[in-house]
Amino acid sequence: MVTTVGTPSTPTTVPYGHPGLSTRIQAYAHNRLSTGEPGVLHAANPYRRALAPAAVAEVDFERPLDATQMTGNRALSGHRALGTFYEADTVLLPEQGLDSLRADFDLFYSEDLRRLREASMSDLERYAFGFLDDEVDVSGTWTVAALDAFFQHVAGQTERGRAESLAAMEQSTRPTVAADLYLVQLALDGLTEASAMSRNLGGAYGPEQSALFKIFIDEFGYGVFEAKHTTIFAKMLRSRSMATHVHAYWNFYLTGPLATNNFYYYLSRDHAKFFRYAGAVTFAERVFAPAFVQMIRTYRGIFGDEVDLHYCDEHAHIDEHHGRITREQVLLALAERHGPSVIPDLARGIAQASWLGGWFESDTAAQIRWSDAIGRYRELGAATAAGPGTATAHELAPQSPFSTRNHDGAVVLRLTEGEADLVTMPTGEPDRLARGDAVLVPAGRVYGLRAVSPRCGYELVVPADEH
Amino acid sequence: MSTEPLPAAGDLVVELDLRAHNAVFVGHDRYFVLHTGGRRELVLDRCPHRGGPLSLARLTPDGRRLSCPWHGTKVGVVALRRTALPMVRTGERAVAVLSGVPTGTPVTAVHKRILANLPPEDIR
C-alpha cells in the first residue's frame, strides 16, 4: 500500500485557548520559523529551528512518553518543541545584529506564539518527563549521611565508567566526524550555558543561593565576555571549522542530549522541583570534571594539537570546585537546613540526572555506530524492502526545506526517483543514494534527505513485523 | 548485587537487581521488598513481638496489617513502612543505603518467597 503525503498547509493564525496538546504543538510547528529551510545547517538566526511538522503530525501528544519510547519520533518531536519553548523564555539575539531578522524576532517572541507555548508548556512537560516519576522512585527514611552515601555511590560509578560515546568515537571509522557530532551535542547547552541555572538565582533561600551564584558567575566569566563559557565553547567549535551560532546544528541534536538539556529547564521552571534541581545539578557538576578529562584525552588522540580544548580544560579544572561546592554548600546544606522531608527529592534529582546522562551517552554512541555502518544498513534495507510492508511516498526538490527526523520503529528508506544525499552527521560526507537504493533506518536514528537531482522521490517502508 | 563500603560515613550502599533479588541479609538483620500501592520498599523482616519473619506474614482482610506467622501478632503496614531503608529505584535496579554497619558485616541479596505481597488472606 502506498500513500502519498502532501505538504501540510501552514495556518496563518495560531489558535488561542486550550485545544488538545497535539493540536497546539502542530500549530506551533507550522509557524514559518519552524518549517525548515533548504540548508542542512541553520543560518545565523536563533529564532529558526526546524520542528519537522510532518513528523510532529504523527505524534499523539495526549499519550505521554514512557521509559521504553526514548529513542523514537515521539521523544524527538516532543523534546524539540519543548527545547524551543524553554529557549523562547530566554533572550536570544543574533551576533550580527537584529536588522535583517527583526521580523523573525517579532514572531519568535510574539504574543500568538507565547500564548501557544504558555497553553502547552505544562502538558508538554508531563508528556516528556512524566514517566520519570514512575521510572525513579525514592522510598525509606533518609538522613543527610544516607543522602551523601547515595550521592557518592552514584557519582562514583559514573566517574569510574568509560563514556559510551567517547568509546564509540575512538572505535569509529570516521573519528573526526564522530567527534564533531559529540561537540554538536554539547553545543546545545554550550552555546546558551547556564540559562536553566539562571532561573534558580532569584528569590531568597540563604547561603545555598549564594553558593549556586558562585557557580553561575564562573559560567559567565565574571562578567568578562571573553571568559564566558559560551565564548570559549565557540572557540572550540571554530578550531574545528564549525559554525558557532545558536543553533546552527539544530538538525543534529539527538533525542537523549535534547532531553538532558530540557531536564534542567524542566526542574528550574517549576520551583516545586527546586530540591530535585539541587540534586541534579550536584550530580552534573560532580561528574563534569572527570568527563572532560576523558574528553580531552580522546580529542587529543584524534586531533592532536589541531583542536582548541580550552573549554574542556576550564571545565576539568573549575568543575572540581563546582562539584565540591554543590555537594557541600548546596546538596548537603539544603538537607541539613530543611530536614528529612526534602531529602527524597534531592536523591530523586541525583538519580534522574544520572539516568538521563546515560541516555545522552547511549543515544550519541548509537548514532555514531549507525552512521559508520551505513554500508551494512544499505544491504539490510534492500533485504527488508523486498519483504512485506507498508510504504508512503514522498517527493523532494533541491530547494525543499531540509530537516532531520527519526522513527519510533525501524523503517526502510528507498529512493524511487532521482538522487539524494542521506545526511546522518553534521560534518563529513553524506551518503549518496540513487534510484532503487534502500537503507534500513533503525528506530531512533536521526537522518535527513537532501535532493541532488531536480526531481527526487522516495518511499518510507514500514516492514510488516514493525506493525 | 554489589556493595560498596564507605569508611568515612560507616554506611554501606547495596545495589539490587529487583528482578533477581527481593530480600537482603545484613549480618543478623533481614530486609525484604514490600510492595505498597505500586511502590517497592525495603523493610525490616522482623516482627516487633519476638522477631518472626514478616515476609512470610499474610495481609489481614482489610489489607492494613500483616499477621505474623509465629504468634499471629498484627503489625500495621504503615508502621512497617517506617522501618524502610533509604532506597532509590530506577527501573528494576535499586540502590539502598544501610547506616552504621560494622566493617566486615556480611551482606547478601537473595530471592525468596514473600507472602506479605500476596492479596489479603481469604478467611472464609
- Which domains occur in chain A, in start order? 10-129 (no CATH), 140-372 (1.20.910.10), 375-466 (2.60.120.10)
A342 touches chain B (CB under 8 A): no
Residue A467: pLDDT band with limits 50, 70, 90: low
Question: Can you tell me the distance from the alpha carbon of B80 to that of A74, in angstroms, rounded to the nearest whole number?
Answer: 41
Going from N- to C-terminal start, the domains of chain B cover 2-110
ipTM: 0.90
Question: Can you tell me the distance from the alpha carbon of A362 to that of A354, in angstroms, rounded to the nearest whole number?
Answer: 13
With residue B14 as reference, give the H or E element that holds it. strand B11-17
A141 touches chain B (CB under 8 A): yes
Q: Dihedrals φ, ψ of A387, to 5°?
A: -90, -175
Which residues are paired to B19 by β-bridges? none
Mean pLDDT (whole number) for A171-194: 96
Contact B97 A139 (CB under 8 A): no
H helical segments located in A386-462:
none
Mean pLDDT (whole number) for B38-53: 97
Question: Can you tell me the distance from the alpha carbon of A427 to that of A182, in angstroms, rounded to the nearest whole number?
Answer: 11
Q: Between chain A and chain B, how many beta carbons pairs sit less than 8 Å apart?
A: 75
> With contact defined as beta carbons under 8 Å apart, do A113 and A81 qualify?
no
Provide the pairing of β-strand A2-4 with A389-396: parallel
> With contact defined as beta carbons under 8 Å apart, do B36 and B49 qualify?
no
pLDDT at A386: 87
A267 pLDDT more than 50: yes
Residue B122: pLDDT band with limits 50, 70, 90: low
Q: Name the residue in chain B with its Cα closest to that of A353.
A: B90
Distance from CA of B19 to the nearest CA of A (A): 15
Residue A14: pLDDT band with limits 50, 70, 90: very low
pLDDT at A8: 38
Chain B interface, mutation test: which of A134, A139, A159, A350, most B Cβ atoms within 10 Å? A139
pLDDT at B26: 94
Contact A355 B90 (CB under 8 A): yes
CA angle A413, A417, A418 (to 5 degrees): 105
pLDDT at B2: 62
CATH class in words for B2-110: mainly beta
A216 pLDDT more than 50: yes
A391 pLDDT more than 90: yes
Contact A146 B95 (CB under 8 A): no
Residue A187: pLDDT band with limits 50, 70, 90: very high
B87 touches chain A (CB under 8 A): yes
A368 pLDDT more than 60: yes
Distance of CA A19 to the CA centre of its chain: 27
What confidence tens digit (pLDDT) does each residue in B60-105 have?
999 999 999 999 999 999 999 999 999 999 999 999 999 988 888 9
Residue B1: pLDDT band with limits 50, 70, 90: low
CA angle A8, A13, A14 (to 5 degrees): 85
Computed on alpha carbons and rounded to an integer, the radius of gyration of chain A in Å comes to 22
What confidence tens digit (pLDDT) does each residue in A45-63 have?
999 999 999 999 999 999 9
Indicate the angle between helix axes A175-190 and A255-269, nearest 10 degrees. 10
Which residues are paired to B43 by β-bridges? B32
pLDDT at A10: 42
Residue in B13, B42, B83 closest to A149 by CB: B13
Contact A149 B96 (CB under 8 A): no
Q: Name the residue in chain A with its Cα closest to that of B4.
A: A153
| Greater model confidence, B122 or A256 | A256
Q: Is the dihedral of CA A136, A158, A75, A378 positive or negative?
A: negative
Mean pLDDT (whole number) for A27-44: 96
What confidence tens digit (pLDDT) does each residue in A59-102 have?
999 999 999 888 899 999 999 999 999 999 999 999 999 999 99
> With contact defined as beta carbons under 8 Å apart, do B92 and B17 qualify?
yes
pLDDT at B37: 87
Mean pLDDT (whole number) for A207-232: 93
What confidence tens digit (pLDDT) does each residue in A413-434 have?
999 999 999 999 999 999 999 9
B101 touches chain A (CB under 8 A): no
pLDDT at A465: 82
Q: How many CB atoms lie within 10 A of CB A134?
A: 12
Residue in B4, B15, B89 closest to A137 by CB: B89
Question: Can you tell me the distance from the alpha carbon of A33 to that of A154, in angstroms, rounded to the nearest whole number?
Answer: 41
Contact A145 B11 (CB under 8 A): yes
Contact A347 B84 (CB under 8 A): no
Task: Report the candidate in A443, A393, A398 with the shortest Cα–Cα distance to residue A415.
Answer: A393
* CA-to-CA dists, residue A152 to A96, A333, A334, B6, B12, angstroms: 45, 16, 17, 9, 11
Q: Which residue type does B37 have?
A: G
pLDDT at A302: 97
Burial letters A282-315, b for 16+ CB under 10 A, else e: bbbbbbbbbbbbbbbebbeebbeeebbbebbebb
Cell output for B99: 547506616
Residue in B84, B91, B97 closest to A149 by CB: B97
Task: Report the candidate in A466, A465, A412 with the shortest Cα–Cα distance to residue A441.
Answer: A412
A240 pLDDT more than 90: yes
Half-sphere exposure (Cβ direction) of A87: Cα atoms closer than 13 Å: 25
B6 touches chain A (CB under 8 A): yes
Contact B13 A150 (CB under 8 A): yes
A199 pLDDT more than 60: yes
pLDDT at B123: 53
Percentage of chain A exceeding pLDDT 90: 91
Contacts of A156 in chain B (CB under 8 A): 4
Residue in B11, B13, B84 closest to A139 by CB: B84
B34 pLDDT more than 50: yes
Question: Can you tell me the distance from the alpha carbon of A454 to that of B9, in angstroms, rounded to the nearest whole number?
Answer: 69
Residue A7: pLDDT band with limits 50, 70, 90: very low
Cell output for A314: 576550564
A308 pLDDT more than 70: yes
Contact A150 B86 (CB under 8 A): yes
Residue A403: pLDDT band with limits 50, 70, 90: very high
Contacts of residue A202, Cβ cutoff 8 Å, sequence gap at least 6: none
Percentage of chain A exceeding pLDDT 70: 96
Question: Can you tell me the distance from the alpha carbon of A3 to that of A187, in angstroms, rounded to the nearest whole number?
Answer: 38
pLDDT at A321: 94
Task: Report the candidate in B3, B11, B86, B99 with the shortest Cα–Cα distance to residue A347.
Answer: B86
A11 pLDDT more than 90: no
